[in-house]
Structure 1
């Protein structure tokens, strides 16, 4: 199974003890999978359709536990070769239909219809109910990339108002989700690793959270080590290039003027640099008869470079 399937299976096994949380989860599952249809007697019945077995099981269990009803379950495939199956959860008893619709506030006591494109705000006003709401939404319409490949979690819905509800519910847990339109869908998404971890924690996917976090930590450590190695490599290259230029300048002085015109301090550091081309400035400073600091060595080598440049300039002027 994919990482996303593992997450859905994990949260599908959770059971909300509070009826208010069960209502929140059922309401969002219905918003994403449910329809009101009419039978041959022209009576309303509820049909919830999904391709996800976990969602089908959760829908059935919620209806069974909350209303003590046993919905009809049908499984259909388009053809014998089709791997995917469609699961239909149907409630046909008129009294049960009314009870369910009133419980999830799609039908008022005065028989006026609510908004089928969103979940009634009263249902998700509590923090615990927001968790159940997000859990149900992800179970039906969510996906998350395997952390080995990248960081991306999303819930794709067709309703603008439901997408906004999801975004606002996430923000209550300090999760900064974004919304983007993709064809007919409003996609609520998170791309930051730490925020995905927070979301998995909110919906109670603790096993998946640990797996995600372990991968994320390993990747971050690997990236840190790579950055350190790259930095060290860059520093070494810089040191080698600088030393090569210093040696080139010193040899130029030696060939064109000699060391006799140099002060004792410059002559000593010039000879040491030629003798120990791979040594650091700090190491060169310690080799002197009178040891000096790294900055002191650097100062002397810069003087030698200036002298070499002066000689080069003199030669150019003579050739004019």
Structure 2
């Protein structure tokens, strides 16, 4: 089961105790994956379509608990997606459908249904608790989240820009900054910051999934820190090795051209020590000298040898 599916499984078991929050959640689900059929004699039928059985189960439970409606559930194969099943939750009785539509404010006082079941400006999301429930329903209806082991991405897909803007504005009331992008003919409200996705899970009250995501984020951060430290140490080792190789090449050049006898005692001493111990650190080289010399002193002498080797090369080049 994917991380997104596990979140929906958890949210399907999350039931708001207050009826007004239950209505807000149903309103979001109806708006994003529901439809209304109107017969010739103006009889309403509500249909909610989803490919997720947990979402279908949540819709059935909400309708039962909130309105005491026994909805019908049917299953069919998705002709476009092969093996995928589509679950339909239907409220066939006109009076029941009417109660749901009026409670969710999707049906106006004069009997008009909002275009595309619009919930923009809907009074069912006035309270913070109802906004939480609304976002939970929106995610159940058309949301998804990527595998956090790979990257962070949370989104809710909407049929219209106005619905995406509403979801964006509701998220903003919880200090969550969502962006909107158009993908094919849909509008997608999305979040890419890991910490913001954690906040979003908290808003929807998916606490188990939140802890799972936090654990993954901590492990990823630890791995990142270890990798950065290893890369830094590797770079330092490479730098040290490269410097030692150059020092040895310069010392060998001095030995073969001018000879160590031409060097001051301190430089001759460190030159021989470096050739004897090519892998030693500056500190180790200094400790082996008599008398011992500190790292800065060893570094100073090796730099002098490198400068001398450069002058000898220039003199040799000028003489040819």
TM-score by length of 2: 0.90
- Partner in structure 1 of residue 161 of structure 2: 160
- Partner in structure 1 of residue 148 of structure 2: 147
Number of residue equivalences: 318
Separation in 2 of the partners of 1:33 and 1:134? 14
> Do the aligned residues in 2 keep the contact of 1:27 with 1:119 (CA within 8 Å)?
no
- Partner in structure 1 of residue 210 of structure 2: 209
Separation in 1 of the partners of 2:251 and 2:86? 82
Q: CA deviation at 1:309?
A: 0.8
The residue matched to 2:262 in structure 1 has which SS? coil
> Do the aligned residues in 2 keep the contact of 1:105 with 1:120 (CA within 8 Å)?
no
Q: CA deviation at 1:119?
A: 4.1
> Do the aligned residues in 1 keep the contact of 2:106 with 2:119 (CA within 8 Å)?
no
The residue matched to 2:188 in structure 1 has which SS? strand
Say whether residues 1:108 and 2:108 are aligned partners: yes
Structure 1 stretch displaced more, 294-303 or 207-216: 207-216
Deviation readout 1:24-70 (Å, 9 max, x if unpaired): 11111010122222225342332222232222222222222222222
Say whether residues 1:186 and 2:184 are aligned partners: no
- Partner in structure 2 of residue 14 of structure 1: 14
TM-score by length of 1: 0.90
Separation in 1 of the partners of 2:276 and 2:82? 78
Q: CA deviation at 1:305?
A: 0.7
> Do the aligned residues in 1 keep the contact of 2:33 with 2:142 (CA within 8 Å)?
no
Q: CA deviation at 1:312?
A: 0.9
Structure 1 stretch displaced more, 142-151 or 265-274: 142-151
The residue matched to 2:187 in structure 1 has which SS? strand
> Do the aligned residues in 2 keep the contact of 1:31 with 1:119 (CA within 8 Å)?
no
Unpaired runs of 5+ residues, structure 2, are: none
> Do the aligned residues in 1 keep the contact of 2:270 with 2:298 (CA within 8 Å)?
yes
Equivalent runs, 1:224-303 vs 2, <5 Å? 224-303=225-304
Q: CA deviation at 1:315?
A: 0.9
- Partner in structure 1 of residue 56 of structure 2: 56
1:78–1:12 Cα change, 3 Å: closer
Q: CA deviation at 1:113?
A: 4.3
Separation in 2 of the partners of 1:40 and 1:108? 20
> Do the aligned residues in 2 keep the contact of 1:124 with 1:130 (CA within 8 Å)?
yes
- Partner in structure 1 of residue 196 of structure 2: 195
Q: CA deviation at 1:121?
A: 4.1
> Do the aligned residues in 2 keep the contact of 1:74 with 1:87 (CA within 8 Å)?
yes
Q: CA deviation at 1:277?
A: 1.1
Separation in 2 of the partners of 1:25 and 1:91? 16
Separation in 2 of the partners of 1:283 and 1:223? 32
- Partner in structure 2 of residue 25 of structure 1: 25
Aligned CA RMSD, in angstroms, stands at 2.3
> Do the aligned residues in 1 keep the contact of 2:3 with 2:147 (CA within 8 Å)?
yes
Separation in 1 of the partners of 2:58 and 2:15? 9
> Do the aligned residues in 2 keep the contact of 1:28 with 1:119 (CA within 8 Å)?
no
Separation in 1 of the partners of 2:17 and 2:111? 29
Structure 1 stretch displaced more, 50-59 or 111-120: 111-120
Separation in 2 of the partners of 1:277 and 1:86? 71
Separation in 2 of the partners of 1:119 and 1:317? 84
Deviation readout 1:235-266 (Å, 9 max, x if unpaired): 11111110111111111111111222322222
Separation in 1 of the partners of 2:237 and 2:77? 64
